Amino acid sequence: MNVMQLKQIGLSHPRFAAASATAQELAGAVQRRVVLMRAQPPAHSSRPPQQLFLAESLSVLEPAIRQMRPALHLSQARNPRVVILMPGFGTHPVRMRYMAERLEEAGHTVKRWGTGFNMGATPENFALVAQRVVDVHQRYGQQVMLVGWSLGGIFAREVAKLHPEAVARVITMGSPFSHTPYSNNVWRLYQLVTGYSVEQPPLPLNLAAKPPVETIALWSPRDGVVAWRSACGRRGERDRARALRCSHMGFSNSREAILAVAEELDAD
């Protein structure tokens, strides 16, 4: 058996073929991301000032600063709700644990969204979140309140469109559902991680369309990640918009954001 025959046998081996296919897929994924990273936002897009974006890094100090403030105690809810909290892009539900604990102390039943880290909207994880909402609705026998932070708010809005019978209200916090998908400071990072354009997600979405349930948008002029007009939305894209003064990261655990969410959950 000569060298050429040995090479042919090796190339046809299943393990070699699988490795070759994997290498080709990896190369394709890298090439897609290179193209996406070179993309330019449209002229009419906007983003928060760089100083606000840099200030978002101070959020790592929040747990320590919280210890020096008076403890936050919410009033007991007049109408306790079943709530599902949906984390922002790249974050885990643990980032919203402080909010969950305060809402539970007020009498609400708070559930996680059931999929761990939020690494972008795909058909698979969107289906998991939608099923989670339906399951919680059926388990407790009442419509669920969806509270979504940043990208989590996009999930909340889209699930409410798909299953309005299971959702009582949607509250978004700094969620980029309006203006353009480029109106934020992290769209390139999102494309790098997910491998697809913010303009062409792997499932059909109409972000600006209002869900057929009451929808409240919490936004902040101090948000360093998502442009205020993208998180506030226009009339007809949400029922109400409410301005806070927290940072983007502060939506998940700041006193102001938690109080605002509690008030909206208890609103008639």
Alpha-carbon span 160 to 144, nearest angstrom: 10
Q: Which of helix, strand or coil describes residue 40?
A: coil
CA 142 to chain centre: 24
pLDDT at 20: 65
SS3 of 200-254: CCCCCCCCCCCCCCEEEEEECCCCCCECHHHHHCCECCECEEEECCCCCHHHHCC
Predicted pLDDT of residue 5: 57
> What's the Cα-to-Cα distance from 190 to each of 22, 181, 184, 185, 228, rounded to whole Å?
23, 11, 11, 10, 19
The pLDDT tens digits for 101-110 are 999 999 999 9
Residue spans of the chain under pLDDT 50: 6
**Amino acid 66: pLDDT:** 87
Confirm if 133 and 166 have CB atoms less than 8 A apart: yes
CB of 55 closer than 8 Å to CB of 62: no
Question: Looking at residue 12, what is its pLDDT?
Answer: 60
pLDDT at 60: 86
Q: Can you give the pLDDT at residue 13? A: 58
